[in-house]
Structure 1
Amino acid sequence: MWIRIKRLFVIKTRFEACLIIYALAVGAMERGKDYVAQFPGVGGYLLCMACTGAVFMAGAMIFDALAAKRARSAVVAHHP
C-alpha cells in the first residue's frame, strides 16, 4: 500500500514536470509580488528576480533528473 502512495509523488513524464514547474512559478511570483510590496524599490525587485531564478534552476534540475532517469532505464533495458 505504501508503494502505491509513494508512486504518486514520483515525476514520471515531462508533462508532470511541466505542471510542477508551473506550480512553482506561480508560487514564486506570488512571493515576488509580496517582496515588491514589502520592500519598494530595487531591493524588492531583486528579491522578486531571485524567486524567479530559483524556479528556473529547479526546473532545469527536474528536467535533467528526468533525462538521467530515462537514460539509466534505457541502459538497464538493453543490458543483458
Structure 2
Amino acid sequence: MLKKIGRLFVIKTRLEACLIIYALGVGAMARGMAYLDHYPGIGGKLLLVACSGSVFLAGAKIFDCLRYEQAAAEAAKQAS
C-alpha cells in the first residue's frame, strides 16, 4: 500500500516535470513580488532575481534527473 502512495510522488514524464516547474515558478514569482514590496530598491530586485534563478536551477536538475532515470531504466531493461 505504501508503494502505491509513494508512486504518486515520483516524476515519470516530462509533462509532469513541466507542471512542477511551472508551479515552482509561480510560487517563486509571488515570493519575489512580496520581496519587492518589503524591500524597495535594488535589494528587492536582487531577491526577485534570486527567486527566479532558483527555479531555473531546480528545473534543470529535474530534467537532468528525469533523463538519467529513464536511461538507467532502459539500460536495466536491455540487460535483463
Amino acid of the structure 1 residue aligned with 2:74: A
What residue in structure 2 maps to residue 24 of structure 1?
24
Q: How does 1:1-80 map to 2 (within 5 A)?
A: 1-80=1-80
Alignment identity in percent? 56
Q: 2: CA distance between counterparts of 1:18 and 1:55?
A: 12
Offset of 1:22 from its aligned partner? Answer: 0.3
> Aligned pairs, how many?
80
Normalization by structure 2: what TM-score? Answer: 0.98
Normalization by structure 1: what TM-score? Answer: 0.98
Q: CA RMSD in A?
A: 0.6
